[in-house]
Amino acid sequence: MPSIDYVEAGSGPPVLFVPGSFSTHAAWRPMQKWLAPGYRMIGTSLCGYGATAETRGRDDFGMRHELRIIEHAARRAGEPVHLVGHSFGGTVALAAALANSIDVASLSLFEANPLALLDRQSRRNLYDAVLELSREFSASVDAGEADAAAMIIDFWGGPGTFATMPEAVRDYCRKTAATNAIDWLTDFGFGASVEDYRALDIPVLLVRGEFANPAMVAMTDLLEQALPDARGAIVDGAGHFLIATHAQKCAALLTRFLTVADAALPEPTMVA
């Protein structure tokens, strides 16, 4: 079986953290240190990041590759999991909940980006612009441009974001740029509709930054309108990388949400 990253700490209800592109389970550490105690924190990394093997290719990029990772981690948890995802990791978390192959207690999404939601008449200009960006990025990666990743980081985080990142982070982005090119194919290929989301009747927390770009604002708004049990939050002063830059605020939102979601779960069956 291909290798899959897996770490855990603490005890209590399991919370499975799914990082986005260009990152590993370590991306959640700033938030996790502010999270209220009493949770079993489980981390993994998506295809091609951390210790997780890349099983996809440009001709085989379906979401099933990522779902295999989430299912593996959730089964190790052994009970319903609270799924927490950032960016592309949020999209993967949504896909896992919709696939109904694991028991999901709740979803917490920090700037999730299910791009197919933009493929509608009212948002077509945004969809076309993001699709073109992804193609330009892929061409830059293929051409061997050293800082091709800056195009993506600055799209989500704002102009100049890549240049301000620590060198170790920028270097990891450079090394995993080819993996991110496949992430775009996986995301665009995930075609869940508004109707699909309307059937997802579990508690969902939707968080975005105050300075989210127009595509992110549109996707978050569409999700909030479609999901039957969603609550939204905007983190003041934050952008796309809010789980690191505004970790304490994000952790407070997550703690409050998990407290309510846990209270709504049925009591486990007692065996005499």
Cα–Cα distances (Å) from 73 to 87, 102, 113, 243, in that order, read: 19, 10, 22, 21
pLDDT in tens, 97-123: 999 999 999 999 999 999 999 999 889
* CATH class, range 7-264: alpha beta
Nearest to 254 by CA among 113, 90, 92, 96: 90
pLDDT in tens, 119-171: 998 899 999 999 999 999 999 999 999 999 999 999 999 999 999 999 999 99
Contact 51, 5 (CB under 8 A): yes
Question: What is the C-alpha separation between 5 and 53, in angstroms, rounded?
Answer: 9
| Domain-wise residue ranges, the chain | 7-264
Question: What pTM value is reported for the model?
Answer: 0.96
